[in-house]
Amino acid sequence: MNQPLLDNIRVLDLSSVGPASRASRWLGDYGAEIIKVGPMPRDGGVQITPPAYAYSAHRGMARLQVDLKADAGRDAFLALAKTADVIIESFRPGVVANLGIDFDTVRAINPGIVYCSTTGFGQDGPHSQMAGHDLNYLAVAGYLHTSGTNPDGGPALPGATVADSAAGGLHAVAAICAALVGRSATGEGCHLDVAIAEGALSLMSLSIDEYFAHGTEPGPRHGLLTGKYAWYDLFQASDGGWLAVGAIEGRFFANLCRELGCEQWADKQYDEASVEPMRADFKAAFATKTRDEWAAQLGPADTCVTPVLDIVELTEHPHFVARNAFVDVEHPTEGTLRQVGAVLAGQTSATEMTIPDMSTTATAELLVSAGLSTDDVAALIDQGVVQ
């Protein structure tokens, strides 16, 4: 497919980090035009400035700086909002209304706007004004309670920002794309209330629904997918490396038992009395070869076994390399940056995207394209309202 899926979709992103910035990154990878809207330099401290490499260095995006607290700045933003398809913001509930750029205000001038508000706990409710980060949302959604434990016996810190990415960013992307499809039929936009904590709840639905159905209280190693059985677990090899085993289906389990020399367990996959003896035998078997030896043997044997790779190893993995998962892009000040490409559904190529110089903006061009005259834009720049 030559035309990007979100070609001709314009997104105004008012965020600097977090789920909203992840969402605009992925929307950009699908072909949307992303305009990063930030504060004036004198107000820069109100937002976190991520490292140059973060969020794929904002490849393919344009940048605008505006003082939204000034009437003229607000009006300039609203002029640009008339041309937008999507607005993403991550302020606390009530802030955009105070600034005069909330959904109702924008909808009055642009009925088709898809306005996505991303917050930790949503636009209303007892916790709507509570601050939080990824770890907090995973905590209240039960993710940490049901995952593995650290050496002290407490919940283990996750190795990725699961809430920011899956529960927040991809949650927002899915909602925005659904709203755009709906708009194509009705011509009307909508306000999306993306609560990261509720996105995390949706990720935990298997455990939560089990509790509702049976009254059970899932915890670490409680169920099939959290390590109760030896055939869905992690095992250490002779060289200290680890392998992930996910042999859920009966035929995969039978293949695993055969390859490990543990055929005695082949007909006892769910036998409760066999859980720990089977785990002990699997542990002993995995300890007889190195990680890579087992991976080479078990991977092609339909056993659902893969090595646990570190970051260095995965960047050189032949499968990811063959899939063009990593690309080199030129940063205007940092030189060549290697980064994860547009990997979600492989719809666009990051090699075609440019890295903007974040010390400059496209403010004048963007506002002129939104209908302001060059004299009006020059006046706003002189007043210190935009840059």
Q: What is the 3-state secondary structure (H, E, C) of the chain?
A: CCCCCCCCCEEEECCCCHHHHHHHHHHHHCCCEEEEEECCHHHHHHCCCCCCCHHHHHCCEEEEEECCCCHHHHHHHHHHHCCCCEEEECCCCCHHHHHCCCHHHHHHHCCCCEEEEEECCCCCCCCCCCCCCHHHHHHHCCHHHHCCECCCCCECCCCCCHHHHHHHHHHHHHHHHHHHHHHHHHCCCEEEEEEHHHHHHHHCHHHHHHHHHHCCCCCCCCCHHHCCCCCEEEEECCCCCEEEEECCCHHHHHHHHHHHCCHHHCCCCCCHHHHHHHHHHHHHHHCCCCHHHHHHHHHHHCCCEEECCCHHHHHCCHHHHHCCCEEEEEECCCEEEEEECCCCCCCCCHHHCCCCCCCCCCHHHHHHHCCCCHHHHHHHHHCCCEC
Q: Annotated active-site positions, please? A: 133, 164
